[in-house]
Structures are given as C-alpha cells and as structure tokens.
Amino acid sequence: MLRSDGRCFVCGRDNACGLHLEFSYGSDGLSAETTFLPEEKYQGWQGIVHGGIIIAVLDEVMAKAAVHKGFAVVTGEINAKLKNPAKVLEPLRCRAVLEDIKKKIIYASAVASREDGTVVAQATAKLVIIP
C-alpha cells in the first residue's frame, strides 16, 4: 500500500527542500493543475529553469489527477518534450488530464505553459495502478 509521509519533493509540506506546490482539480474529475513559480535555486543555465524540475512537476500533476479520481498510482513511464525555455521567477501553469483508464494503467498528459500561453513542456505518462 502506498502511504504519504508529507515528504514528497513536489507537494510535501514536510520536505524542507521541496517545491510545496498545491493543486486544484477540474469539475470533470479527470484533471488537475498547479502554478509553479520557479526560484533561482531550480535553474540549470543562468536564468533558465532546469528541465528536470519542470518534468517532475508535470509528473506530479498527472499523478495528482489520478489520485483525485481515487487511484493509487506510480509512474511507470513518462515521455516529455521541452519546447521552450522557462525563465526563473516566471509562473508556469501546469495542467494534466487523464486520457484513458484501463485495468492496470492510466494514460495521462500534461502541459506546462507561461502566462501568455506559450508551451514550455509537454508530457505523457503511463501511471500504474497499485491495488
């Protein structure tokens, strides 16, 4: 059984090094979103957010959508495309949708975009349902 101890890097309140993101959920019951304001400590090149951090947020928002729907999941596979650089201290809207739910796998997609709608990153994932 999966248990949260509050130390998740993306959402855990008890992780001093974490992002501490909060999530909201669509009325459709199949989507989740968050706004990520990346600080300088999350940069790769000067002024640019490290792509791995953005992918971690997309991974989490997809999992949150599944958990909100009532599933315990772990990411079995994730594919991501970094489309445009994200600047530090520039808010990113990260939104996920559950595309299909099978017996053991949930197929999800997510997008991170700037306030002007420019897509920074896209991801798809296969989330494995844990009984």
Put the strands of the sheet holding 31-36 in their side by side order. 24-25, 31-36, 92-101, 105-113, 119-129, 73-82
Query: Band of the pLDDT at 70, cuts 50, 70, 90?
Result: very high
Write the pLDDT tens digit of every residue in 2-21. Answer: 888 889 999 999 999 999 99
Q: Which two tokens stand for residue 116?
A: 């002007």
Over residues 97-126, the mean pLDDT reads: 98
What pTM was computed for the model? 0.95
Q: Which is nearest to 101 in space by CA: 77, 65, 52?
A: 65
Residue-range domains of the chain with CATH: 24-129 (3.10.129.10)
Tokens representing residue 125 in the block: 């994932």
Cβ neighbours around 114 below 10 Å, total: 15
Query: What mean pLDDT, rounded, does the chain reach?
Result: 96
d(CA 100, CA 30): 10
Helix (H, G, I), strand (E, B) or coil at 64: helix
